[in-house]
Amino acid sequence: MLRGLTTVTFFAEDVPAAVAWYTEVLGIEPYFARPEQGTPAYVEFRVGDYQHELGILDARFAPHARTEQAAGAVVYWHVDELEDGVERLISLGATLHDKPTERGPGYVTASVVDPFGNVLGLMFNRHYLDVVETKA
């Protein structure tokens, strides 16, 4: 079911400052930004040989902003069938954290809270599949 990591998302109160810092650390500019009310709410870098994704998301959308039970970074795992993946994890004792949501063409995310309080992200990620196909 879990094919590989797609995106690690970190949260920041000051997204522009975090983007500047990670641009310096990584030595690259972000390839994607989604603004909200004129400032970036989400920015993404592609890093490394397999173009893993590092996202910086406005802290107001952090898991702890929604529930006292979950906090921290959300690591997304690619799945071919997102709805089936969410249903399977719920059947194994997880609770829905963030319902399946299309984030853009070829990108659908959802998350659950595992029985231990950790947020587990699932994503159908077209970019992940494109990279896998080029490595085959």
Q: Which two tokens stand for residue 17?
A: 């400052």
Q: Residues in the chain with pLDDT < 70? A: 63-72
- The model's pLDDT over 74-108, given as tens digits with 9 standing for 90+, comes to 889 899 999 999 999 999 999 999 999 999 899 99
Q: What is the pLDDT of residue 95?
A: 93
Q: What is the pLDDT of residue 71?
A: 54
CATH number for the domain that contains residue 44: 3.10.180.10
Give 83's contacts (C-beta < 8 A, 6+ positions apart).
100
Q: What is the pLDDT of residue 62?
A: 77
Q: What is the pLDDT of residue 67?
A: 57
Burial class (CB in 10 A: 0-12, 13-18, 19+), 37: exposed
CA distances (Å), origin 90, targets 27, 120, 131, 132, 136: 39, 11, 29, 28, 33
Q: How many CA atoms lie within 13 A of 35 on its CB side?
A: 3
**Model confidence, pTM:** 0.67
Range of the domain at 11: 5-135
Q: What is the pLDDT of residue 51?
A: 87
Q: What is the pLDDT of residue 89?
A: 92
Closest residue by Cα to residue 56 from 42, 73, 70: 42
Number of domains composing the chain = 1
